[in-house]
Structure formats: C-alpha cells, structure tokens
Amino acid sequence: MTDKDSDASSAPERKRGSGVKMVYDLLRDEILDLVLPPGSPIDEVQLAERFKMSRTPIREALVRLAGEGLIATLPNRSTMVSNIDFLNLHTFFDALVLMYRVTTRLAAEHHRQEDLEVIRARQAEFAAAVQAQDALAMIATNAAFHSAIAEAGRNPYFTGLFNRLLDEGRRILRLYYQSYDDRLPQRFVDEHEDMIAVIAARDVEAADRLARTHAEQIVEQIQKLFARKDRLEIAL
C-alpha cells in the first residue's frame, strides 16, 4: 500500500472521529446547560438528521455521554437525558465545598506570579459575564476562574477532581443563576476579588475561610430552591 493509499483510507476514520467529538461536545453542552432538560428523549434518527451524518458516530457519542451519566437507557431501550439526583445532592455539595477550600488553600501556598495573572484574567471574564447578565457565560467563566486557582495549587489530582465537580455541577448552577433571574449580585464578583487578594498575600487561613464562605452560600441558595415554600395548614 502506498502512502497515498494509506492517507486516503485513514481520512474517513479521522472524519468520523471528528464527527463523534462534535456531536458529543454539542450534546454535552446542551445537557449541562439545560437546553436539553432532564428527562428529554434522545432519538438517534433525529440526531443523525440534525447533524447530517450516519447513526454510527451518533451512537458513539451517546455511549460517551452515557459513560458520564448524562444520558440513560430505559428498559424499553429508549434513551433520555438523565435526571438530576436531588436526593443525593448533599454528597456533591460536601465534595464541592471541600474542593473549594483545598484548592484555594493550596493556591495561597504554592502559586507563582504567572498564576495570579491567569487568575485575574479569568476573573475579568467572569465580571464581564456578570455585567452582561449572560448566565451560560457566568457558569463557564466561574468554572475557569476556580480551575485557574486549582492549577495554581499544583496538585493535579485535586485539580482534576475539582474540574469534574464544576463540570457536573453546571446543571445545578444553571438553576442557581435562575434563582437570581440571571442577575448575579455584585458581591459574588467582589468575593472573587477578595479571594485573589488573600491568595496573592499567601494567607492560607484566610483563603480557606473565604473559599468556605463562598462555597457554602452557593449551597445554601440552591437548597432554598428545593425547600417547600408553602405549608399545609390544618386547624386542630
């Protein structure tokens, strides 16, 4: 086989691989951003028509999404967007608060000057998203800000876990921002600035304290969303 023949035979494989990634990335974003709400049906035929490709790359993308728990196959073999496990959110919140604290502490201890430049750049992007009241941009730039802090802590295991939590929490954060009508209070931008200041000052204990407060108020606001506001009144 000539080099030319080899290149020709590998081209369809590269094209299919890029197709799988495109479908995966787009559906994943739509699920995490609640464009496709929990419980939405996923139809391979409709997706193949939408993306103008065969069902094989569609199916491969769906397998990846299923592996991440974002879609589920029902006993009748139909597929839908996975529901949010509200009953076990407390375990997610425990891990999230801990990672906010650990990564911010480590950033205060181990950051380099170039890390601060990246963190400040991510903060400027978050502030711009808040000003624009762009909820999806707020979620993305907030994750990028805290991911930059985690990178500055120089523990790739914590960084990987935190990024996973931030990613998995996008659906929850979308509900969180909706509770503010996508008008996030300025204090959240200010809290980020305070965190940057204590990281730059290498004040580990203050970094821990601010990160914990920042994370816990997010958790408390989300928990309020699911608390019943009405109560059954019965005269006894």
Q: Residue 208: which residues within 8 A CB-CB, separation 6 or more?
A: 101, 104, 105
CATH of the domain at 178: 1.20.120.530
CB 160 within 8 A of CB 209: no
C-alpha dist (Å) from residue 36 to 25, 40, 71: 13, 6, 11
The answer to whether residue 103 sits within a structural domain is yes
**Secondary structure (H, E, C), the chain:** CCHHHHHHHHHHHHHHHHHHHHHHHHHHHHHHCCCCCCCCEECHHHHHHHHCCCHHHHHHHHHHHHHCCCEEECCCCCEEECCCCHHHHHHHHHHHHHHHHHHHHHHHHHCCHHHHHHHHHHHHHHHHHHHHCCHHHHHHHHHHHHHHHHHHCCCHHHHHHHHHHHHHCHHHHHHHHHCCCCCCCHHHHHHHHHHHHHHHCCCHHHHHHHHHHHHHHHHHHHHHHCCCCCCCCCCC
In this structure, what are the phi and psi dihedrals at residue 198, rounded to the nearest 5 degrees? -75, -30
The answer to whether residue 61 sits within a structural domain is yes
Q: What's the number of domains the chain is made of?
A: 2
Mean pLDDT by 10 residues, the chain (236 residues): 48 65 94 92 95 94 92 91 90 96 98 98 97 92 97 98 91 87 91 98 98 95 74 54
Q: Do 54 and 128 belong to one domain?
A: no
How many other C-beta atoms lie within 10 A of the C-beta of residue 83?
10
Q: Domain span at residue 63?
A: 17-81
The pair of three-digit structure tokens given for residue 7, joined into one six-digit string: 């290149």
CATH of the domain at 34: 1.10.10.10
Q: What is the pLDDT of residue 228?
A: 53
The pair of three-digit structure tokens given for residue 126, joined into one six-digit string: 């978050």
Q: What is the pLDDT of residue 230?
A: 52
The answer to whether residue 174 sits within a structural domain is yes
Q: Do 121 and 219 belong to one domain?
A: yes
CB 135 within 8 A of CB 182: yes
Domain boundary residue, one of 50, 81, 112: 81
Q: What is the pLDDT of residue 17?
A: 72
Q: What is the pLDDT of residue 10?
A: 45
Q: What is the pLDDT of residue 31?
A: 93
> Model pTM?
0.80
Q: What is the pLDDT of residue 198?
A: 98
CB 149 within 8 A of CB 105: no
The residue type found at 116 is L
Q: What is the pLDDT of residue 9?
A: 44
Q: What is the pLDDT of residue 210?
A: 98
The answer to whether residue 160 sits within a structural domain is yes
Q: What is the pLDDT of residue 88?
A: 87
CB 136 within 8 A of CB 35: no
